[in-house]
Amino acid sequence: MAELTGKERVLKLFKKEPIDRMPCFSGQGAVTVQAIEKMGTQFAKVHNDAALMAGAALTSARMWGLDAVVVPFDMATVAEAMGRGVSLYDNLEGIIYPTVPNKWKDLDEIDIPGDFMSKGRMPVVDKAFDILKKDAPDLAIGAWVLGPFTLAGQIMELDILLKGLKKKADQIEAFLEQVTQVTIDLCKHYESLGIDFITVREMGSGTDLLSPRMWKTLIQPNLTKVFDAISIPSVNHICGSTDMIIEMMHECGADAISVDQKNNIAETRKKLGNDILLFGNFDPYGTLTTQEDTSAVAEVIKKCIDNGVDSVWPGCDIWPDVRKENMETFVQTVREYGKKPTPATKRI
């Protein structure tokens, strides 16, 4: 039997069909400096040019042997398109992600334009998807969006948002409903472009910041609306502490759950059973960038698999400045150690 392509492997995973081995991919940023250098460009320039954005994603995937490509790379695209501006740092060397310089400071100031998807760099991201579909037919193509609460924190000051939960509860609820619709519209838009899967990153909602009770009332209903609206494979990703909300994450209705290194994956697997797709859960910076012992990298990846993940995912974006040997070890370990069945997926 011919080896599966990366796209076939990822799509079969989401369908929980038998595959030849665990796919090695992420639903978050996976661009590396080695690929940037090979392209002869700078990290700061790949966020504002469709060819460079697609090229950075694809060159990284080809260089390391990943099964998927994902764009965009930064969190500022939507806020920029809503008129909040962007700092691209395109005259600076090194790894500096774009940031939002002008967040709304009062709920009464908020005015989300109906045509935001045609503004700022949103068309650049769309064009990058077009290029990837043409140049990488053998790889799964993924997109990610911020969850409603995290997106809200990108377009207005987070401390004002949190303070408003008590003083302006009705206004905050209406604002989050509006941002939830923005998230849904963006997911449907990316679906229309023909991508293969989408990750919703409600990164700022772990129990490090919000209590489980607040998560149930503030986060879960809106995430459920988002996943109800998505018709392609979807992933619910949350950073930070998630052990106390993992059942509620599952109830939101995504096809898979992704968590970071703070989650006790073995316990999560016991709580959720073997039928749910579970992704995670290593620290990308500590494992791929600062770790100097490749055997330790292999052990981290093996532990993720032994604890019950169906795909080894980093807990957040892979920090671009990875050590070559660590990245190679990560991919090779997933390919070899991931040949055995996982709780939710069998092997061909």
Interval 225-281: pLDDT, tens: 999 999 999 999 999 999 999 999 999 999 999 999 999 999 999 999 999 999 999
The dihedral through the CA atoms of 48, 49, 53, 59 has a sign that is negative
Backbone angles phi, psi at 147, to 5 degrees: -65, 165
Assign 3-class secondary structure to the chain.
Answer: CCCCCHHHHHHHHHCCCCECCCCCCCCCCCCCHHHHHHHCCCHHHCCCCHHHHHHHHHHHHHHHCCCEEEECCCCCHHHHHHHHCCECCCCCCCCCCCECCCCECCHHHCCCCCCHHHCCCHHHHHHHHHHHHHHCCCCEEEEEEECHHHHHHHHECHHHHHHHHHHCHHHHHHHHHHHHHHHHHHHHHHHHCCCCEEEEECHHHCCCCCCHHHHHHHHHHHHHHHHHHCCCCEEEEECCCCCCCHHHHHHCCCCEEEECCCCCHHHHHHHHCCCCEEEEEECHHHHHHCCCCHHHHHHHHHHHHHCCCCEEEECCCCCCCCCHHHHHHHHHHHHHHCCCCECCECEC
Q: Please state whether the predicted TM-score (pTM) of the whole model is above 0.85.
A: yes
Specify the pLDDT at position 199: 98
Specify which residues 71 forms β-bridges with. 143
Question: What is the overall mean pLDDT for the chain?
Answer: 96
Specify the pLDDT at position 288: 98
pLDDT of 166 above 80? no
Residue with tokens 């679906």: 191
pLDDT of 165 above 80? no
Q: Which two tokens stand for residue 341?
A: 């069945």
pLDDT in tens, 58-101: 999 999 999 999 999 999 999 999 999 999 998 888 999 999 99
Q: Which of 185, 201, 189 is nearest to 256 (CA)?
A: 201
Give residue 172's Cα distance to chain centre.
25
Quickly state the pLDDT bin for 160 (edges 50, 70, 90). Answer: confident
pLDDT of 163 above 90? no
> Could you give the CA distance from residue 239 to residue 47 in angstroms, rounded to a whole number?
23
Work out the average pLDDT over 291-309. Answer: 98
Residue with tokens 């500096």: 96
Work out the average pLDDT over 161-187. Answer: 88
pLDDT in tens, 22-58: 999 999 999 999 999 999 999 999 999 999 999 999 9
Residue 241, classified by CB atoms within 10 Å of its CB into exposed (0-12), middle (13-18) or buried (19+), is middle
Backbone angles phi, psi at 344, to 5 degrees: -105, -5
Half-sphere exposure of residue 187: CA atoms within 13 angstroms, side-chain side = 29
Sequence-distant (6+) residues with CB within 8 A of 301 are 282, 287, 312, 329, 330, 333, 334, 337
Work out the average pLDDT over 150-179. Answer: 86
> Could you give the CA distance from residue 87 to residue 171 in angstroms, rounded to a whole number?
29
CA distance readout (Å), 114 to 78, 79, 82, 148, 221:
12, 13, 9, 16, 23
Rounded to the nearest 10 degrees, what angle do helices 169-192 and 148-155 cross at? Answer: 110
Q: 210 or 322: whose pLDDT is higher?
A: 322
pLDDT of 2 above 80? no
| Domains present along the chain, CATH in parentheses | 6-337 (3.20.20.210)
pLDDT in tens, 114-133: 999 999 999 999 999 999 99
> Could you give the CA distance from residue 160 to residue 165 in angstroms, rounded to a whole number?
9
pLDDT of 164 above 80? no
Specify the pLDDT at position 1: 58
Backbone angles phi, psi at 347, to 5 degrees: -115, 150
